DNA sequence: CTATTTGCAAACGCTTTGCCTGATT
DNA sequence: AATCAGGCAAAGCGTTTGCAAATAG
């Protein structure tokens, strides 16, 4: 059973997130919640965001707390990250590369020039 | 003209990056360079990595230095980031979603269960 | 009641930066 | 010789955490 409690802090954070499509930062959410709960702390916002992400009720875009990784290979290629050992592998599927941009351009009104595609799962060693 | 100088620190960092496909962190690179240049500082490694990335000689995988962004929409969807205004938009192209995993599975020996795809370019407001 | 959550503030970890010295062109 | 780059250490910044007080169930 789930021992989590629905505090007014948590409820407010969830509502704010469900009501926007601006993909906000913790700081922005914090500012919004403060309008309703002036004494809320930023730590509480982070704790709740992490909890919600763990329960897959929200998604984290660009997890900022990892180290940066660098790639000396500038040829266009994709990456695969093993969920188990965290290793990053190169993937040779540039077949789509141009197609993906084209499809995105044709189906939206953005001027798409680039994309980043990353796969996740288990590598040969871990599976 | 390019006023950058080819120091032995810079040269060593480039060589190390070109010689590996492990997508290392700054710290790992630092440890490698130290074997040749024991007095090199971590700051120098970072300065060079940033410089090389700016000149597109290397790629940064997951820029750790940005803030995290959160998405309350758990429906499978892609994102578009405007290079100019930095706004993040939703994109409705889940058409491929399953296909991309399938293709990756068929063409590699990884067990692919997931992926993240992000497009870049100019949004309607900025273009 | 009592275990979970909060507020607060301090700590953390990665990255950046200021200052001065050293090296490259 | 002039200016770019490096070393060192401190600062920056987003995020996490320890602790005591508050509160949901």
Residue that wins the pLDDT comparison between A5 and B86: A5
Of the candidate ranges A11-20, B43-52, B60-69, B99-108, the one whose mean pLDDT is the lowest: B60-69
Output the distance from B119 CA to C13 C1' rounded to whole Å: 29
Q: Which of A83, A7, A95 is nearest to A47 (CA)?
A: A7
The pLDDT of residue A98: 76
Residues 6 or more apart whose CB falls under 8 angstroms from that of B121 comprise A110, A111, A112, A113, A114, B80, B82, B83, B127
Pairing between strand A111-122 and A78-82?
A: parallel
Taking a C-beta distance cutoff of 8 angstroms, is the pair B89, B51 a contact? no
What are the residue boundaries of the structural domains of chain B, listed by start? 8-71, 78-121
Q: Please state whether strand C lies within 7 Å of residue A40 at its CB atom.
A: yes
Q: How many other C-beta atoms can be found within 10 angstroms of the C-beta atom of residue B37?
A: 14
Q: In what order do the strands lie in the sheet with A78-82?
A: A88-91, A78-82, A111-122, B111-122, B78-82, B88-91
Q: Per CATH, the architecture of B78-121 is what?
A: 2-Layer Sandwich (3.30)
Q: Do A117 and B100 touch (CB under 8 A)?
A: yes
**What percent of chain B has pLDDT above 90?**
78
Please provide the average confidence, as pLDDT, over all residues in chain B. 93
Q: Please state whether strand C lies within 7 Å of residue A14 at its CB atom.
A: no
* Cα dihedral sign, A91-A93-A98-A102: negative
Q: Which CATH fold would you assign to the domain A8-71?
A: Arc Repressor Mutant, subunit A (1.10.10)
Output the distance from B48 CA to D7 C1' rounded to whole Å: 14
The pLDDT of residue B63: 66
Residue of chain A whose alpha carbon sits nearest to that of B28? A69
Output the distance from A44 CA to C11 C1' rounded to whole Å: 17
Residue of chain A whose alpha carbon sits nearest to that of B106? A93
The pLDDT of residue A46: 98
Distance separating the N- and C-terminal Cα atoms of chain A: 30
The pLDDT of residue B94: 67
Give the angle A7-A10-A15 at the CA atoms, nearest 5°: 125
| Contact with chain B for residue A42, Cβ under 8 A | no
Contact list, B67 vs chain A (CB under 8 Å) = 25-27, 62, 64
> Tens of pLDDT along B4-22?
999 999 999 999 999 999 9
pLDDT tens for chain A, 127 residues: list them.
788 999 999 999 999 999 999 999 999 999 999 999 999 999 999 999 999 999 999 999 987 778 999 999 988 899 999 988 989 999 988 677 778 999 999 999 999 999 999 999 999 999 8
Query: Residue A85, CB half-sphere, CA atoms under 13 Å: how many?
Result: 12
The pLDDT of residue B64: 67
Q: Is the pLDDT of residue B56 over 90?
A: yes
How far apart CA A14 and CA A29 sit, in angstroms, is: 10
Length of chain A: 127
User: Mean pLDDT over residues B70-89, rounded?
Assistant: 92
Q: Which residues of B85-101 are buried (b: 16+ CB within 10 A; e: fewer)?
A: eeebbebebeebeeebb
Tokens standing for residue B72 = 């309350």
Tokens standing for residue A98 = 């141009």
- Please tell me whether residue A87 adopts helix, strand or coil conformation: coil
> Tens of pLDDT along B23-51?
999 999 999 999 999 999 999 999 999 99
Reported confidence tier of residue B58, pLDDT bands at 50, 70, 90: very high
């Amino acid at each position: 059973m789930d021992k989590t409690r629905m505090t007014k802090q948590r409820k407010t954070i969830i509502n704010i997130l469900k009501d926007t499509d601006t993909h906000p930062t913790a700081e922005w959410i914090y500012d919004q919640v403060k309008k309703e709960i002036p004494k809320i702390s930023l730590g509480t916002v982070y704790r709740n965001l992490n909890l919600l992400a763990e329960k897959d009720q929200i998604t984290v875009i660009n997890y900022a707390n990892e180290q940066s990784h660098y790639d000396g290979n500038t040829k266009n290629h994709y990456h695969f990250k093993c969920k188990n050992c965290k290793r990053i592998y190169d993937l040779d599927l540039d077949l789509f590369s141009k197609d993906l941009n084209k499809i995105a351009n044709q189906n939206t009104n953005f001027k798409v020039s680039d994309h980043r595609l990353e796969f996740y799962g288990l590598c040969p060693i871990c599976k």
